[in-house]
Structure 1
């Protein structure tokens, strides 16, 4: 049995996210954003400029000033696509096992000047604080629970504890404020569990496609298969899920495949943008038109 950290109250812990102007991580300065409207959806200035080629990540943890209202607009459902009809894709990585691919992933993103969002478990943050800090220093950090359980199999009290203890572990390891984004273990969501994390101040951010690279060669995966699955996320507002480690030994296929994934996505005319554009109030205007699309769970 693992030793649990002291339970963090919602008011003092997770819900403090809602009270932070700009959802800034430690050391960040506020910035503003003006909405750019056009086409079927509306996206932030940052998303629009990135889609036009100026692909510079935001400072970690920053968001528009009206982000609290934008966050609440994400409540009530799972998010599997960003609400836009533009040809943009967001890269996300889960961190729940080892950190073998972290350096390679961060180096490739840095070389390309691309943003990504990393969803950490609390256990990962405690076991690999240096890797957690490195990710938080350059990119947004989300919550992936403390110990990666099936939420439907645990009580509401345990569900809250998983979210709160992950939040505390991530803050302790990174010195940063996590984004108000939660991703369920196994992407196993129900209306009840989504409502529970919403009540703690988190939007449920899932994915359009998963490479399944974490399975590794022992699980029948290859770089080529991971790349093929990744292209299922090449839809307007697609969210791609990858992993920075694997559940066993051997190569981290998502890290190895990342350069080819980026090239293939961009060859299809898509730009890679920051998932934090979801916190732009303007982006919520097209939420209803795309909320039902792209609900493609990984196999």
Structure 2
């Protein structure tokens, strides 16, 4: 009798372990499809424009297509405030500055691509877009970044055909919901005001780390602690997508 009770308890223990394992597997499986659905609909692939406004987070994103000075300043500010971001870089820039790519990666920031040459995809034929993406992919792979899946099209220009091409190649197109137009250098205070006034839960913020954005690093000195002061967590795009339903930009 004693052996029977002990054996029964042992069976129950392993049954609980098995059930927990199945639950975890089911959770991960459902989560995978939830993330994938962010970038697609019954009408085809779509572009991510913002995350879920029920989550207290915003995604900082930085575009880089030329220059080497401001990216270091931006990285320094992110490190100072313990903030993570997603950097969208052109393949041409990445090829020329592998040491800066390494620095971005070592800061635990996410790397996305903007094709190879920073030329609007609406000004190119579909085969030219494919060629540009193929070449960019070769460059990123050669540099050791084989897992790049996020794409921000040059100048943010795209249509249904571009989305289809990106989807076929396994890329998810990412846009933004807050754009202070920092590359125009409207003034540090103006950049700060635009970001702080317009940013709320789930927003994807577009900033630049190219040398043309001369005022962005200074603006970050106020923006980064300011967003945290609003109760917002600064995350990478995939971190935002992983745990939320996000909004897509409709292309007609």
Query: Residue 142 of structure 1 contacts residue 178 of structure 1 at CA under 8 Å; is this kept in 2?
Result: no
Which residue of 138, 154, 171 maps to 1:202?
Answer: 171
Change in Cα spacing, 1:168 to 1:211, as seen in structure 2 (3 Å) is farther
Q: Deviations over 1:249-295 (max 9, x none)?
A: xx721122112111222232322122212552x53xx34xx4469x9
Which residue of 128, 153, 171 maps to 2:97?
Answer: 128
Q: Separation in 2 of the partners of 1:114 and 1:171?
A: 26
Q: Separation in 2 of the partners of 1:272 and 1:235?
A: 11
1:115-154 equivalence runs, <5 A: 115-138=84-107, 139-154=109-124
If the length of structure 2 is used for normalisation, what is the TM-score? 0.78
Query: Residue 46 of structure 2 contacts residue 249 of structure 2 at CA under 8 Å; is this kept in 1?
Result: no
**What residue number does 2:221 align with?**
259
Query: Residue 92 of structure 2 contacts residue 117 of structure 2 at CA under 8 Å; is this kept in 1?
Result: yes
Q: Separation in 1 of the partners of 2:217 and 2:29?
A: 34
Change in Cα spacing, 1:183 to 1:222, as seen in structure 2 (3 Å) is same
Q: Report SS of the residue matched to 2:84.
A: coil
Structure label with greater radius of gyration: 2
- Extract structure 1 runs of 4+ deviating beyond 3 A: 64-72, 290-293
Please say if 1:161 is aligned against 2:131: yes
Q: Separation in 2 of the partners of 1:292 and 1:126?
A: 30
**What residue number does 1:180 align with?**
149
1:244 Cα deviation (Å)?
A: 1.0
Query: Residue 143 of structure 1 contacts residue 163 of structure 1 at CA under 8 Å; is this kept in 2?
Result: no
Change in Cα spacing, 1:116 to 1:86, as seen in structure 2 (3 Å) is same
1:151 Cα deviation (Å)?
A: 0.7
Q: Mind listing any 5+ residue stretches in structure 2 that lack a counterpart?
A: 1-23
Q: Figure out how many residues of one structure are paired with residues of the other and give that number.
A: 221
If the length of structure 1 is used for normalisation, what is the TM-score? 0.66
